[in-house]
Structure 1
C-alpha cells in the first residue's frame, strides 16, 4: 500500500512508527483541505492555475480516501502545493480563514445556524478597531472642547485685566492733568491778603470751567472700568466652575480650594488661585493628553485605511492583526514623542498683577493655528510611526558619525607625531 496506509500502521510496526504515520496522515489531510481552499479562492478570484497542479491535488485526495498513499504521490502533492502557494501569493491559507468563516460552508441546519451566528475574524477585528476609533474621537472632541473653554476664559480674563490696568492708568493721568491744570490757572493772591470782588468772580468762573470739563472723561473711564470688571467677575465665576469640573475628576487629590485654609484668603487671592490652577491644567492637557489622543487617532486612522485593503485582497491574517495592534500601541507613544521633539519653548505663566513679570514658565496655548502644529505633528506621527523612527535614527546616526569621525582623526595625528622624531634620529647616524 504505502507508508500512510492502515496495513503499514498495524501490529507489525512499533510505537514510534505508529506515531509518525499518524502525524504524517494528519498533516496531509490538513494540507489537502488547505489546498482545496486555495483552489476555491483562485477560482473565485479568477487566478489561473496550472492543470498539473490541480490534478496532483485531486489525485492525492482520491488516493487518501482510498488509502492508497505512496511516497511518489506525497512528493507530487507537496510540489503542487508549493506551486499553488506561489500562484496565490500574498494570499495565504491563514488570511483566507481569517476573512471567511469556513463553518458557513457546512451543510444542514446546524451549518446554517453557525453561519448566521459566527462571523469571520476579519469582521470582528474591523468592529473592534471601529469602536476604538469612535471612542478615541469622542474622547478627543470632549477634551478639546473642555480645553478650548478653559483656554478662552483664561485668555479673556488676561485681556480684560490688561485693559483694566490701561484704563486705570488713563484715569490716573486724566485726574492728575485736571488737578495740575486747575492749580496752574489759579491767579496769584495779592500780598495784602485782600481780594476784590472782580478777582473772586474770576476764580469762581475758572473753577467751574475746570470741574465741568474734566469729569466727562473721568466718568467715561470709570464706566468702562466698571464694565470690564463686571465682565471679568462673570468669567471668573465660569472659570471657577471649570476648575471644579476637572477637580471632580481628580478625586484622589485635594485641590487648593478644597483645603480649610482657602476660606482665609482674600477675594483677590482666591481669584489668583483659580487663575493659576487653570493655566497649569491647560498646560497638562495640551502637552500630554492631547498629543496622546492625537497619536492614537492617527494610528486608528491608519488601521482603518489599511484594513479594508487587506480584507478585499484576502491578505488579512492573525499576523496582520498583531501588526495593527502594535500600531495602535505605538500611536500614543509616537504622539507624545513628537510633541516633545517639535514643541517650542514654553511661554510665560501670566498673572493679574499690574506689572509684566511672570511667576512661572509654562505653555498655556492659544487659539492660533501655529500653536496647534505640535498636535498635527502628533497625528502624523501616530499615522506614520516611521516618521518618529526616522528622526530618531537621524539623530543617532549624526551623533555616532561625528564621534567616529573625531576618533579616526585623532589616531593618525598621534602616529605622525611619534614617527617624525624617529626619522630625524636616523639621519645623523647615516
Structure 2
C-alpha cells in the first residue's frame, strides 16, 4: 500500500469515527431530554471523554473500541428508537438554519394524498347518487314507452341522457333504428340499460377501490403520527406505506367482489367493509388464508375415488 492510499484509508477511518462520536452524543442527548429514561454514568462519561479526544485528534484504538461498546449499550437501551429515526424526526440545524426532517415531508405528502382521495371519492359518490336517483324515477314508468313523455318523466330522461353523456366522455348512444315515435321506447330503454350497467360498475369496482384506498391512507397517517411521537419513524418505512396503499385498493376491490348488494342500494355495510379492509388489510388477508387452509384440508381429507372392478 502506498503512502497516498494509507493516507486516504486513515482519513476515511477518521471520518467514520467522528460520525460515530456525533451519533453517540445525539443518542445521549435524546436520553437526557426524556425523563423516563436513565443512563449509566459510565456510558455518558465514556462517550463524552472519547468524543473530546477525537475532537482534539488525541485518540487511540482502545478509545475507538470503548466508544463502540458504549454506543452499542446505549442503542440497546433506547431501542426501538435509533439514530436514523431521531434524525428523521428531529429537525436538523445546519449553519443556523433549521431543515425540515424527513418525517415532516412524508406526513405532508400523505396528507395531500388523503385530501385528494377524499375529494375524488365525494365527487364519484355524488355523481353516482345523482344517476341512481334519475334511474330510480324512470324505472317504474309503465310500458309501452311512447313519445311524448309526461313533463316530469321527460325532464328526468333528458337529465339521464346528459348523465350518460358525461361518463361516456362526450359520446352518445347510437342505435340503428329510426328516431320516430314508434321506436322511441328502444332509445329510452337503451339509455336506462347503459346507466344501470355503469352504476353497477361504480358500486362493484370503483367505489370499493376508493374506499379501500382511503382506509389505507388513514391507517398510514395514524401510524405516522404514532411513530413521530415515539421517534421510531425511519425513511425506509415509506416503502411499506406505498405497498400498503396498493394492498388497500386490492382489499377494497375484494370486498366489492364478495359483497354485491342490489344495484343502487348504498347500504353502509359494503362500503364500510371496503374501508375497514383497506384500513386493516391484515384481518382481510388472514381470513383469506384461513379460507384457503380450510379448503386445502377438505381437499386432502377427501378419499380418492376407486374405480369399480370389472
Tell me the TM-score normalised to structure 1 length.
0.64
1:76-96, Cα deviation, whole Å (9 max, x unpaired)? 111110111112111111111
Q: CA deviation at 1:122?
A: 1.1
From 281, 287, 291, give the equivalent of 1:385. 281
Of 232, 254, 264, which aligns to 1:365? Answer: 264
Query: Which residue in the other structure is 2:31 paired with?
Result: 42
**Maintained 8 Å contact 1:338/1:388:** no
Match of residue 213 from structure 1: none
2:77 paired residue number: 87
When normalised by structure 2's length, the TM-score is: 0.87
> 1:84 is paired with a residue of what secondary structure?
helix
Distance across 2 between alignment mates of 1:72 and 1:279: 79
Q: Give matches, 1:111-150, under 5 Å.
A: 111=96, 114-115=97-98, 118-150=99-131
Q: Deviations along 1:376-428, whole A, 9 cap, x unmatched?
A: 1110110001122112211221122233434xx77xx9xxxxxxxxxxxxxxx
- Listed one character per residue, the Cα deviations across residues 9-54 of structure 1 (whole Å, up to 9, x for unaligned) are xxx9756644543333222111111111111111122221111111
Larger radius of gyration: 1
Aligned-partner Cα distance in 1 for 2:33–2:56: 29
Could you tell me whether the CA contact under 8 Å between 1:157 and 1:232 is conserved in 2? yes
The CA deviation string for residues 113-144 of structure 1, in whole angstroms up to 9 with x for no partner, is x32xx322111111111111111001101100
| In structure 2, C-alpha distance between the alignment counterparts of 1:119 and 1:398, rounded to whole Å | 50
Mark the runs of 5 or more structure 2 residues left unpaired by the alignment.
Answer: none
* Map of 2:220 onto structure 1: 303
Provide the C-alpha distance between the structure 2 equivalents of 1:154 and 1:101, rounded to a whole number of angstroms.
56
Structure 1 unaligned segments of length 5 or more: list them: 1-11, 169-227, 347-362, 414-430
Correspondences of 1:148-227 after superposition (within 5 Å): 148-159=129-140, 161=141, 164=142
Q: Using the alignment, how far apart are the partners of 2:298 and 2:26 within structure 1? A: 56
Q: CA deviation at 1:334?
A: 1.1
Q: Distance in 2 between matches of 1:404 and 1:17?
A: 66
User: Equivalent residue for 2:296?
Assistant: 400
- SS for the counterpart of 2:139 is helix
**More helix, by proportion:** 1
**Aligned equivalents of 2:58, 2:252: Cα separation in 1:** 61
**CA distance change for structure 1 residues 57 and 13 in 2, over 3 Å: closer, same or farther?**
farther
1:343 corresponds to which residue?
Answer: 259
Match of 1:29 among 18, 25, 45: 18
Q: Distance in 2 between matches of 1:150 and 1:262?
A: 26
| Alignment match of 1:290 (pick from 200, 204, 207) | 207
